[in-house]
Amino acid sequence: MKKCLHLFFVLAVICCMIAVSVPTVCAEEDDYYYYKVKITTKIDGDELLEDTNIYYSLHGVDASYENFVMSAYSVDGIRNNHRNICLQPGVSEQTNELVFRSEQSIIGIRLLQEYCDLPGLTFDTKQYYLDISAQEQHTGIENCLEATQMCMIEGFADGGAMILSELRNTSFTLNYKQPPMFSGVEDYGQYFTTQKVVVKGKNMQSITLNGEEVEIQGEETVVSLPADKNTTYTITATNDAATCELTVFMYELEELMTYVSDINEKNVKSEHMEDILMTLDYVDAVIEQGTNATAKEKARLNEMKKELEGLLSRIDEVNASLDSESIKQTKDITADNVKPEDKKALDKAASDIKKMLKEYDGNYTDDQKKTLNDDLTRIKDALKVISKQYSGSPKTGDNSNISLLLALFMLNGVALVALKRKIA
């Protein structure tokens, strides 16, 4: 009993030590100060045409203003000191609530709008100070403090932040003007037929094709890209909003047939099937996208398609010959089990194989040729057995000499009768 009590006491002491030395997750969370920021982002000007990300960077500001304290930020469990706000087409205003945490008490938050890669979108790159509500701060997310007032920071003076103006709310207005837009092709797309690119934009200032000026045709300018040689085209368009570039790779039409250039009806084999099908897919895709192709290009594409389909038909024809009816009927006949009545089928199979080997000589693979030659050897061996076993005798089913045999039998009979009479 004493031993049990002693063991229980030791275990209790160990549990207490663990509880004291290992802090819980909740305790760790309580050591952080939590802050909340609401930011309204507005778009002024043209409507956005695509999803746009606006990046905000936030840092904690200490009471002395002498430095900005980097903090561990948290939004939905993701720790990052950058905030990504997404605006969709048709949305001109969006308010986002951001929650983050800091290891020490701060009096405000430095906020900076960062680079956005949407051409035509401009915004204020100045820094802003978001003032935390004047109230006693406590740790824990339930005591989250809000930034209620925003001031603009121009720089530092005497080690502190110089506030130039006060703004009563955390709202930012971004100006957006639609940059030049390209349609008809994809940026860095690959094309094999003549393409027409439409450059659209207001207040166009210049359009160039590989550095050469293109005449502007109002708000929509059509630029033609011929496909008679392997060339990379770059279109640069500038208006009062931005400068945009489009790069297109053009190839000669015959480049489509690169993988099958050495294949024809006389040498196509089943092993070429993958390359042929891949090329046919390319040709079909070019036909589908070639709405601006010339009549000559369309005609050549149709020729390519017909040629590729002909090669596939040839492969099907060759494969079907390997499974012909005459070969199937004689596949189990050998020199050991051949019968006289098999001769007709064997002759037919041998004739067909010889014809196939001659007609499709360049179309069979080495394995297919070996199979056919092995079949031909087997059939010939069986025919030799029939020839040896039944040589000089009427063949089964052959009635051409029956009359002659009957006549011989009758003559023999008459001769025997005459001989008997002579002896008597």
DSSP class per residue in 312-353:
HHHHHHHHHHTT-HHHHHHTT--TTT--GGGHHHHHHHHHHH
The span from the CA of 195 to the CA of 212, in Å, is 18
**14 or 217, higher pLDDT:** 217
Let me know whether 46 and 168 are in one domain: yes
Let me know whether 317 and 332 are in one domain: no
Q: What token pair was written down for 272?
A: 């070429």
Q: What is the largest CA-CA distance in the chain?
A: 164
Let me know whether 99 and 223 are in one domain: no
Question: Burial letters for 400-423: b for 16+ Cβ neighbours within 10 Å, e otherwise?
Answer: eeeeeeeeeeeeeeeeeeeeeeee
Q: Say what the pLDDT of residue 277 is.
A: 97
Residue 362 binned pLDDT confidence (cut-offs 50, 70, 90): very high
Let me know whether 125 and 215 are in one domain: no
Looking at 261, 286, 321, the residue that finishes a domain is 321
Cβ 181 vs Cβ 162: under 8 Å: no
Q: Measuring CA to CA, which residue among 337, 319, 421, 423 is closest to residue 381? A: 337
Mean pLDDT, residues 120-127: 81
Let me know whether 121 and 230 are in one domain: no
Q: Say what the pLDDT of residue 232 is.
A: 96
Asked if the structure places residue 203 within a domain, the reply is yes
CATH, residue 211:
2.60.40.10
Asked if the structure places residue 315 within a domain, the reply is yes
Q: How many domains does the chain have?
A: 5
**175 or 409, higher pLDDT:** 175
Indicate if the pLDDT at residue 81 is higher than 50. Answer: yes
Asked if the structure places residue 6 within a domain, the reply is no
Cβ 58 vs Cβ 73: under 8 Å: yes
The span from the CA of 239 to the CA of 346, in Å, is 82
Asked if the structure places residue 12 within a domain, the reply is no
pLDDT in tens, 281-314: 999 999 988 788 999 999 999 999 999 999 999 9
Asked if the structure places residue 330 within a domain, the reply is yes
Mean pLDDT, residues 371-376: 93
**169 or 70, higher pLDDT:** 169
Mean pLDDT, residues 200-212: 95
Let me know whether 57 and 126 are in one domain: yes
Let me know whether 65 and 199 are in one domain: no
Indicate if the pLDDT at residue 165 is higher than 80. Answer: no
pLDDT in tens, 15-28: 444 443 433 333 34
What does pLDDT average to over the chain? 81
Percent of the chain topping pLDDT 70: 78
Mean pLDDT, residues 83-91: 84
Asked if the structure places residue 66 within a domain, the reply is yes
User: Out of 135-144, 350-359, 365-374, which region has the weakest mean confidence (pLDDT)?
Assistant: 135-144
Indicate if the pLDDT at residue 79 is higher than 80. Answer: no
Let me know whether 419 and 300 are in one domain: no
**140 or 382, higher pLDDT:** 382
The long-range contacts involving 1-4, CB below 8 angstroms and separated by at least 24 positions, are none
pLDDT in tens, 221-244: 999 999 888 999 999 999 999 999
Let me know whether 80 and 164 are in one domain: yes
pLDDT in tens, 40-60: 888 888 888 888 888 888 888
Residue 399 binned pLDDT confidence (cut-offs 50, 70, 90): low
Q: Measuring CA to CA, which residue among 181, 195, 311, 303 is closest to residue 246? A: 181
pLDDT in tens, 376-397: 999 999 999 998 876 655 545 5
Q: Exposed (0-12), middle (13-18) or buried (19+): which is 327, by Cβ within 10 Å?
A: buried
Let me know whether 244 and 273 are in one domain: no
**415 or 239, higher pLDDT:** 239
Let me know whether 221 and 108 are in one domain: no
Looking at 301, 321, 341, the residue that finishes a domain is 321
Asked if the structure places residue 135 within a domain, the reply is yes
Let me know whether 240 and 359 are in one domain: no
Domain of 346 in residue numbering reads as 325-389
Looking at 232, 250, 268, the residue that finishes a domain is 250
Asked if the structure places residue 316 within a domain, the reply is yes
